Amino acid sequence: MIKVINCNNKKYKNKLNLFLDKRRSGKTVDTSIVYKIIKDIKKNKLKALIKYEKKFSNNKKVKPTQREIKQSIKALDLKVKKAIDFAYSRIFKFHSLQKSKNIKYVDRYKNKIEYKNVPISKIGVYVPANLPSTLLMNVIPAKIAGVKKIVVANPLINGKLNAAVLYAAKKCGVKEIISCGGAQAIGSLAYIQKVNKITGPGNDYVAKAKQLVFGDVGIESMIAGPSEICVVADNKTELNDITTSVLGQAEHGENSQSILVTKHKDIINKVQKNLSINLKKLSRKKIISKSLKSHGLIILCKNDNQIVEVINEVAPEHLELNISSYKKYISKIYNAGSICIGKYSPMAVTDYNVGTNHTLPTLGSAKFSSGLNLSEFYKKISYITLSKKGVEKIGESAIHLANYESLTAHMLSIRSRMRRK
């Protein structure tokens, strides 16, 4: 069912890179379609948005009424409401701890320098399918950061509003919701709602659309694309722990990536067999089968150092260290979106109510970026107030650099202040 790469093979690095590049290259989708959608919505606004919603979702109405929202929420199971409330409280508490202080510095010449966190004015959040947890993960940090206006885009499911997403939005105080999905939703947030920044994960089309609108609006400092997991296991790891984590990631979508890394050859056949048995019991078995066939992988390593090397190269969105000897790995792993440690820490629970964020870097972007956090919703602005004595004391040195760089107007601007009485 899943391909196997044996690291005893001298060409294993080439094989691994070919496997990873298949998703990272973006060739899994026809990007020309995404470009066309974004260009059309940028020019023709609502008319184009409705055209694509009709085409892809048979949706003719992109703005639900308050009455429709209330009726949808009213029908939601009380257990789901309570679960959302519980998740909200934990996510809010953990993200509140991420607040950073403004910096103020006054030197001996009474020059005052400040560095302040200023909230972004208006953001858009893309929430795929029926995922209220994604709304919580994106909106709560924005609210804590002080963002005043938040627009949520969420597609209809079988022509219906998603009650759980709407309830989560209400819980978070979201006032504006648009019922659309895919690349057209990103286009709408950028060019119709005209937000300043867009966050939220999505499929390949959504990820590509966000890349195309970047520059006109901001996006997260990561690629929040199709989901990924890397599970590290040994011959003492519970077999069901391994297979349920792999299957759980694969059920997100056909382009989800599930990787098992081990140095124990004897568990490979057991895992393959257990995957086949458990797959038959699952409601999304067709999606899982396609995902594992295209983006499933087992990597057999020679030793611990090679396991670390492989993990840092894969740079997974989610990493599970489901082994008793996890301590010897932790300090050496520096490329991962989040790391679940030990046998009681399944990745799946972090998607909901642990408190950490589940909007994480994918497609190898964990090599240079972090998961969604408060800093994504701040601009950091410097404030400089120089005194008369201060500009005189530091100005002369600045003039030397301005002259060296042949920036005469810079020099004159500084000297003008220095001579002022």
Which positions are catalytic? Answer: 317-318
d(CA 247, CA 245): 6
Dihedral angle, C-alpha 294, 295, 300, 302, nearest 10 °: 130
295 contacts: CB under 8 Å, gap ≥ 6: 22, 23, 250, 255, 256, 257, 258
Cα 239 from chain centroid (whole Å): 29
Query: Radius of gyration of the chain from Cα atoms?
Result: 25
Asked if 37 contacts 189 with a C-beta cutoff of 8 angstroms, the reply is no
Amino acid, res. 116: K
Going by C-alpha positions, the residue among 189, 194, 191, 167 that lies closest to residue 179 is 189
Asked if 323 contacts 233 with a C-beta cutoff of 8 angstroms, the reply is yes
**Any alpha helices (H) in 214-284, and if so which ranges?**
239-250, 266-279
43 contacts: CB under 8 Å, gap ≥ 6: none
d(CA 162, CA 201): 17
Q: DSSP letter at 332?
A: T
Q: Are strands 112-119 and 122-126 parallel, antiparallel or unpaired?
A: unpaired
Asked if 335 contacts 297 with a C-beta cutoff of 8 angstroms, the reply is no
Going by C-alpha positions, the residue among 17, 239, 160 that lies closest to residue 5 is 17
Write the burial class of residue 347 (CB in 10 Å: 0-12 exposed, 13-18 middle, 19+ buried): buried
Across the beta sheet with 296-300, what order do the strands follow? Answer: 3-6, 296-300, 257-262, 228-233, 318-322, 338-341
Residue bearing tokens 């969420």? 154
Query: Can you read off the two tokens belonging to residue 231?
Result: 């599970």
d(CA 26, CA 29): 6
